[in-house]
Copies of this chain bind each other. A is one copy, B any other.
Amino acid sequence: MQYQLYYWPTIQGRGEYVRLALEEAGASYSDVARSGNGMAAMMKLMETGQGKGSGTPPFAPPFLKAGKRLIGQTANILLYLGGRHGLAPKAEAGQLWVHQLQLTITDLVLEIHDTHHPLGPSLYYEEQKAPAKMRSDEFWKSRVPKYLGYFEQLLQASGGAWVTGRRLTYVDLSLFQIVEGLRYAFPRRMKAFEKEIPGLVGLRDRAAARPNIKAYLASDRRIAFNEDGIFRRYKALDT
């Protein structure tokens, strides 16, 4: 099947977790909004979806078109893809466990976003610099150790190279992205913190070395980090 991924065309954002899974799986997909009038197509799908009985209108990007189905919410898309592309266990119990971990990453991603937007997504960073600094300090003091410590422990206990054991899942790809993103956004803080998470640093390296991921990262399909995404490098927040 040829998938159509709909996401903002100039950022990695939440769409990146889906892109990494599609790339690792070697799935055929188009990144719709990045081509021709794809952005208009995405907006139209969101508008005509809502309130007109079209079935399953998404609240926000990313969403994935798979045949006639339109699936929204990052973790939900991964739940759908995981079982079909060998990126999650086959049994229901394993699928729910991997999904549970992805939902914990979802929570973390939102907290990362809030480091530069503690007053909400509708105001610019420049309008909330002082609260952003306080939130960032808090985030690195208590939240990063809690979240990454949790995944580090899971990894140490897994008995394999990946968080759930010997087989890679989409959660590992998402953790790769978390490490990459924190390195980009908070280079000084992350450098100091990495000694606490040797397992996750190794996992990041193993994920980056997988042939499909390596090829993806070297391609122009991988959008560079920038200050419109989730992970933003603001020097004032990194000290």
| Whole-angstrom distance between the Cβ of A198 and the nearest chain B Cβ | 14
Beta-carbon contact of A135 and B154 below 8 Å:
no
Which of B80, B107, B118, B153 has a CB less than 8 Å from the CB of A51?
Answer: B153
Check A134 for interface membership: any CB of B closer than 8 A: yes
CA distance A128 to B134 in the complex (A): 10
| Whole-angstrom distance between the Cβ of A222 and the nearest chain B Cβ | 26
**CB-CB < 8 A to A72: which residues of B?**
100, 104
Q: Interface residues of A, CB < 8 Å — how many?
A: 50
| Whole-angstrom distance between the Cβ of A239 and the nearest chain B Cβ | 17
Besides A118-B118, A120-B139, 20 more A-B contacts (Cβ < 8 Å) are: A50-B153, A51-B157, A56-B100, A58-B100, A69-B93, A72-B100, A73-B99, A76-B99, A79-B99, A103-B103, A103-B106, A107-B110, A118-B120, A118-B135, A119-B131, A119-B135, A119-B138, A120-B134, A121-B143, A122-B138
